Structure formats: structure tokens, C-alpha cells
Amino acid sequence: MSADGVSSTKPYLLRALYEWCTDNGYTPYLAVQVDSSVRVPREHVKNGEIVLNISFGATSGLKIDNDAVVFKARFGGVARDIMVPVSHVTAIYARENGQGMAFPPPEPAAEQPEPTAAAHLRPVGDAPTAAEADDAPSDDPPPRPSGPHLKRVK
């Protein structure tokens, strides 16, 4: 919860998009930035990221609460307990059409400020505001987002 007592919108958006995917027969995928606070099979992590199928058929006991996404899943036939802090989810989208929502990656633990209600969310492809940009101007093109390519849901 933020300093002003308002909870983050991110877990609510995750639950809503998960429900939208399942209601429409799509397979919900979760893109996750992995660090020591994330419990996933490390052998499946590539470049500090993992994409997880969170459909009903691929998980057992899925719970998306305000702090974490928790479930059991099989990797190579071996059941594993998965725990992803909501702050480390970088996207949720439908495998079949790429529609969903992306979120900024988490800040490093030592520098992570307390988020405000919606200020930390930005649709894929939107440029940062002037206040968010670095002080020094740069001629370099902005970095391309890593991970899945998403379409906006309107």
C-alpha cells in the first residue's frame, strides 16, 4: 500500500485481464522479471525473464492476490511451487493474439520508491513524460521493450 493509503491498481488489472483471457477462450501468459524474490525454476529463466502460462489447465491453486501470484505448475513433468511478487510482473497477455497490458519493470530493491496509484503504469509504446525523462537530452533512440510484443486493449 502506498503512503497515501491507496492500494496499487496492478493486481486488480492482472485479475481482470486473466478473467478476460479465460472468458474469451484465450491462454493467459504472465511475463516476469526474475530476481531473488521470485520463486520460479531458474533453468527456464532467460535474460532475467520468464514467461508463465497461467491458464486453468497449466496451473493448480492459482491465486492472484494484492501482493503475489502463487500457484503450482509442472515443468518437464516435475511439479513446482511458483511465487511471483506482483511488482515483478511486467506483462499479462493472451498467447493467441498478444492483447493484454505491460507494466514497467520493478526498480532495484535498494532504490524502489513507494508507487503511487496509477503513476507507475504506462501503456506499451507510450513515451515517458518530461518529468520521467533523464535530465540530460539524448540523441539515442529509446530502448525497445524486451519481452512479448503486445497490442493495446481498448
pLDDT digits (tens, 9 = 90+) for 85-140: 999 999 999 999 999 999 998 887 654 444 444 444 545 544 444 444 444 444 55
**Residue 47 belongs to some domain of the structure:** yes
Q: State the Rg of the chain over Cα.
A: 16
Q: Name the least confident of 23-37, 44-58, 124-138.
A: 124-138
Neighbours of 137 (CB within 10 A): 6
> What's the whole-model pTM score?
0.68
**Residue 113 belongs to some domain of the structure:** no
Neighbours of 125 (CB within 10 A): 10
Number of domains in the chain: 1
Q: Which domain holds residue 60?
A: 1-105+118-144
pLDDT of residue 150: 58
**Residue 149 belongs to some domain of the structure:** no
**Residue 111 belongs to some domain of the structure:** no
**Residue 153 belongs to some domain of the structure:** no
pLDDT of residue 140: 55
Average pLDDT value for residue range 5-12? 89
CATH number of the domain encompassing residue 129: 2.30.30.220
The distance in angstroms from the start CA to the end CA of the chain is 28
Neighbours of 30 (CB within 10 A): 24
Query: Rounded to whole angstroms, how far apart are CA atoms 86 and 8?
Result: 10
| CA 84 to centroid of chain Cα atoms | 9
